[in-house]
């Protein structure tokens, strides 16, 4: 059965592009029912329009408070009747009420091998720590930052002349493979969560 997915993005939306291309190619059995963005200038909007994906802009700067924005976002998410919400460069932390309303229905991708290097500038954190291997993690979203059960991880070597940009670029190549694959597994009902462990059937 075809799943309904909705994407939340704040910026260029390259992972969003990878997902909609995988759907168009038939690799993911889903329809993307909406792009929801907090940024009216996000390049992801252009990507959505080209792909025929409906766009909903909730400009964060127009809301009187974070609570007001979160309520509008919650209502918008409910209206999509999505089986899965995909965070693709969405630069805001989802409030507890939203996370609890959609348990095991929100996924995120993070440019580090969690649980290491949570939060912003993960690639820079990895370089400063001196790790030899970096990568990306697709995980379910829970109430804690970058902390939900891990679905998939991909590794890249850290090269001696890497800076934050070069490492980020190499990790992004793996993100574009890893995220559609994790979403494919979800849409095929092949993920089972037991405690912190995600089993792939």
Active site residues: 110
Distances (CA, A) of 103 to 56, 76, 142: 22, 17, 8
Angle at 176 between CA 171 and CA 181, to 5 degrees: 120
What's the half-sphere exposure (Cβ side, CA atoms, 13 Å) at 178? Answer: 26
Buried b (16+ CB within 10 A) or exposed e, 30-47: bebbbbbbbbeebbbbeb
Please state the φ and ψ torsions of residue 10, each to the nearest 5 degrees.
Answer: -120, -15
φ/ψ of 71, rounded to 5, equals -65, -45
Q: What angle do CA 176, 182, 184 make, to 5 degrees?
A: 100
| Closest-CA residue to 19 (of 114, 120, 82, 87) | 87
**Rg (Cα) of the chain, in Å, rounded?**
16
């Amino acid at each position: 059965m075809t799943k309904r997915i909705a994407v939340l993005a704040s910026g260029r939306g390259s992972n969003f592009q990878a997902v909609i291309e995988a759907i168009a190619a038939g690799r993911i059995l889903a329809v993307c029912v909406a792009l929801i963005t907090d940024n009216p200038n996000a390049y992801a909007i252009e990507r959505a329009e080209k792909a025929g994906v409906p766009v909903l802009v909730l400009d964060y700067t127009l809301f009187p408070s974070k609570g007001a924005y979160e309520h509008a976002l919650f209502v918008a998410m409910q209206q999509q009747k999505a089986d899965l919400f995909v965070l693709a460069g969405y630069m805001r932390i989802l409030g507890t009420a939203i996370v609890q309303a959609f348990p095991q229905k929100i996924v995120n991708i993070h440019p580090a091998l969690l649980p290491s290097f949570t939060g912003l500038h993960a690639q820079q954190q990895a370089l400063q720590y001196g790790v030899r291997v970096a990568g990306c993690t697709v995980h379910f979203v829970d109430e804690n930052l970058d902390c939900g059960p891990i679905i998939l991880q991909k590794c890249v070597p850290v090269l001696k002349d890497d800076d934050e940009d070069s490492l980020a670029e190499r990790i992004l190549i793996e993100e574009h493979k890893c995220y559609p694959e994790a979403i494919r597994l979800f849409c095929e009902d092949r993920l089972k969560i037991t405690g912190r462990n995600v089993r792939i059937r």
